[in-house]
Amino acid sequence: MNYTISRSRRRTTIGIKIEQGEVRVMAPTGLASQRIADFVASKHNWIQQHVTAQQARLSPLPKRQWQHGEHLYWLGQKLQLQVRPGQRSTIDYDATTLSLNIRLSRRVTRCEDKVRQLVTQWYKEQAQLWLDTTLPQLAAYQELTPGSWRVSSYRGKWGACSHSGHLSFSWRLFAAPEWVVRYVVHHELCHLAHFDHSKAFWQLLHAHDANLKAAESWLKHHGITLLHDDYFSYVKETE
């Protein structure tokens, strides 16, 4: 079974994550490779079950080519990529046509990579603007005060709250409908009061976000495609 190993001095136990159909093992820095291999072997059936399930959900989906005419999503709204040559490489959003207009310099040799880079940067910038505008309102409503917030490039989670009260959110999350994004923000804000997933945490979250169950269901159903770069922001037309 193929897997990658991430070692950390902060870890004291072995953990396994299955992301986008791939297996990643987190292990303490000094742990012998054979110990890791034995642990993975002991979890073979569990790993295979989850890898197969994730790959089965991804395999029927069209792979993104990052080219003219493709669609992606911003806060659940469908946008179209318009890619054309230009004097320099730029990207801008057209609210009238609901499109991301990209101009590629003629000096660009790997067009797909440049389009991906421009789109990723656009998402990060727009996500930060959304957070700067909306998160303080949600925090004030919940009477909670985060230390700071930022956009991250997480591929295995939607957001995080540190012990010092700093919040971070994956830019990939912002392809989801806005009510789902708000749920994730509420979720991390509630960790400022309860740094766990205790009963008290869920009670607080439910009190501030009535979409809890629907949002969790949406993320469970669509999350794997949003977090996978090859199928970035794919959402079924019927959803």
- Compute the mean pLDDT over every residue in the chain, rounded to the nearest whole number: 89
Cβ contact 226:174 at 8 Å: no
Show the tokens assigned to 206.
Answer: 């439910």
* Per-residue CA distances from 231 to 57, 196, 222 (Å): 11, 31, 11
Distance CA(211)–CA(123), nearest Å, equals 24
Q: What are phi and psi of 100, to 5 degrees?
A: -105, 110
Cβ contact 41:208 at 8 Å: no
Angle at 157 between CA 151 and CA 195, to 5 degrees: 90
Which amino acid is present at 216? E
pLDDT above 90 covers what percent of the chain? 67
The domain segmentation of the chain, as residue ranges, is: 4-58, 71-231
Show the tokens assigned to 153.
Answer: 């490039």
Predicted TM-score of the model (pTM):
0.80
**Letter string b/e over residues 115-142, b meaning 16 or more CB atoms within 10 A of that residue's CB:** bbebbeebbbebbbebbeeebeebbeeb
Locus of tokens 């930060």? 128
Q: Counting beta carbons within 10 angstroms of the beta carbon of residue 55, is it exposed (0 to 12), middle (13 to 18) or buried (19 or more)? A: middle
Cβ contact 105:89 at 8 Å: yes
Poorest-pLDDT segment among 65-69, 91-95, 115-119 = 65-69
Position 231 scores a pLDDT of: 66
pLDDT class of 238 with cuts at 50, 70, 90: very low
Tens digits of per-residue pLDDT, 143-175?
999 999 999 999 888 999 999 999 999 999 999
So what CATH class is 71-231? alpha beta
Cβ contact 120:170 at 8 Å: no
